[in-house]
Amino acid sequence: MSIMYIFLVSLERKSQQNMKIYTSYFGNLRKLSQAGIIPVSIARWSPKWFEGIKYGTVAPLPDMLKGDITREQYIEQYNRRVLARLDPARVVKELTIFTGDRDCALLCYEKPGDFCHRHLFAEWMTRETGLEITEFGVEEDKPKETEIIEPSLWD
């Protein structure tokens, strides 16, 4: 039995999967670092300067990135060829082990609001596990509460 195996089993037992998973982009690394969030690349090819964790398991396949398919084809292929082959519980377990159960952000290149596989992954993961995965630093638009206006005696 290797020392690495014992370490991973020990780490897995300690973990209670309390970590929060975010999505973000490489341009946000400084803010992620300041917040104590572990960056994890899920891009097919990470920037040469990126020295963090690389988790290519959820990256799009190389032929999907050539630009000769439509967005709809990309979504269909990503769902069928990447996500459908994954076990969501295993993905969570692996991320937990890789990050030491600390909050992490799954990174690629596109800015928030741009079409990207990380958003497809986050939606899938939430649907499959119930974990809420949000874009780091982006406030979700929440419906505003209806304001009740009391009638005035002077109107």
- Which residue reads 């690394």 in tokens? 29
User: Is residue 102 predicted with pLDDT exceeding 90?
Assistant: yes
Mean pLDDT of 101-118: 93
Distance CA 138, CA 134 (A): 8
Percent of the chain scoring above 90 in pLDDT: 70
- Which residue reads 């060829």 in tokens? 81
pTM of the full predicted structure? 0.76
Mean pLDDT of 134-145: 68
Contact yes or no for 98/59 (Cβ under 8 A): no
* Partners of residue 39 on adjacent β-strands: 105
